[in-house]
Amino acid sequence: MTNANTPAAPRLGKRRRIPLAPYVFLFPAITVILIFRIAPIFYSAWLSFVKYNMVSPELSKGVGFANFQRILTDSFVWNGLASTVYYAVGTLLIGLLLSLLFAILICEPWMKFSSGIRSALFIPYILSVTITGLIWSFMYQPSFGLFNYILNRLGLPDQRWTADLKQAMPSVIAMVVWRDLGYRITIWSAGLLSISKDYTEAARIDGASWLKELWYIRLPLLRPVTMFLTVLGLIGAFQAFESVYVMTGGGPANRTKVFVLYLWETAFGKMNMSYAAAMAWILFIILVILTLIQLKVQDREVDA
């Protein structure tokens, strides 16, 4: 006789049933990712090594690295890279420093309505880049724009802004910095508010001034935030398209034609998909290299 408390022996030969419900629910999402994310990556890689025939794709023929070799001698590509670097440096340096200054002031204990100020500055970031670009384009208009109206009231001469060779890119940079200001202030504020008060209180007890406390305590502790904003800002700057397209269209005289704008014109203006795909992969390699360099610098600072 078997004891009633003895557990029953497992039945041999009975297979474990695999639940299908999770896979059924994941199937649509996985399908969308495969079709619209993964497949285009391999397709663009194939395009970059062929001479694509838009009319009869089956007649496309392989050209090896010819598209990449052409990039090395294309003056428009180098002009686009130079404009992109100019755009990236301007938006990063001015944007990071200005947003850090605002964040420091907003996070001070004596600042009233800090949450309301932070929310108000974040509103432009919610708007579409196209909308903000159009608004600023109207304000930049030489004949009836707001900025020239202010200059006239101050007794200063009119400016051509986006129509001027030297002022076009700074004008675009000013709009981008204004739009991204609230987002960067929010990230800086989160980093500043996460710093323990024990550090600042200990520094004040030792007689450190506000500037020394900021320079030797808070700013070093903000290095991870600085790296985060720099990496995201750099990637976003090298992918800039809407702001330049809406405000200047790449002009005047291609002074603001950034790399992605030239890529777009090559693909959909000249219908040269193969060359545009090669340019896209060059951009991808540049972004990967820049990100790895920044991460390497961050690792060295952590080890130090």
Distance CA 126, CA 182 (A): 9
The 8-class DSSP code of residue 164 comes to S
Is 215 within 8 Å of 199 (Cβ atoms)?
no
8 has pLDDT over 60: no
CATH number of the 74-130+168-303 domain: 1.10.3720.10
pLDDT at 167: 94
Distance CA 101, CA 124 (A): 18
- By percentage, how much of the chain surpasses pLDDT 70? 93
Structure-token match 């994310």, residue found: 37
The 8-class DSSP code of residue 157 comes to P
37 has pLDDT over 80: yes
Distance CA 127, CA 132 (A): 7
What letter represents residue 3's amino acid? Answer: N
Collapse the DSSP code of 154 into the 3-class scheme (helix H, G, I; strand E, B; otherwise coil) and give the result.
coil
Collapse the DSSP code of 62 into the 3-class scheme (helix H, G, I; strand E, B; otherwise coil) and give the result.
strand
Residues 42-78: pLDDT tens digits? 999 999 999 998 878 788 889 999 999 999 999 999 9
Give the residue from 277, 289, 299, 237 showing the smallest Cα distance to 87: 237
Neighbours of 26 (CB within 10 A): 10
Q: Per-domain residue ranges for the chain?
A: 21-64, 74-130+168-303
Q: What is the dihedral of CA 105, 111, 113, 116, to 10 degrees?
A: 10
Measure Cα distances from 108 to 88, 180, 195, 262 in Å: 30, 22, 13, 44
Residues 176-203: pLDDT tens digits? 999 999 999 999 999 998 988 888 788 8
Residues 201-221: pLDDT tens digits? 888 888 888 888 888 889 988
Give the residue from 191, 286, 275 showing the smallest Cα distance to 237: 286
Is 192 within 8 Å of 104 (Cβ atoms)?
yes
> H-helix or E-strand containing 51?
strand 50-51
Is 244 within 8 Å of 238 (Cβ atoms)?
no
Averaged pLDDT score across all residues of the chain: 88
Q: Which residue has the higher pLDDT, 245 or 1?
A: 245
List alpha helices for the chain, DSSP H.
Answer: 21-33, 39-47, 66-72, 75-106, 114-126, 129-139, 146-153, 168-193, 197-205, 210-213, 219-221, 223-238, 242-247, 259-264, 273-303
**pTM as predicted:** 0.86
Distance CA 167, CA 84 (A): 15
pLDDT at 57: 79
What letter represents residue 300's amino acid? Answer: R
Residues 98-112: pLDDT tens digits? 999 999 999 888 888
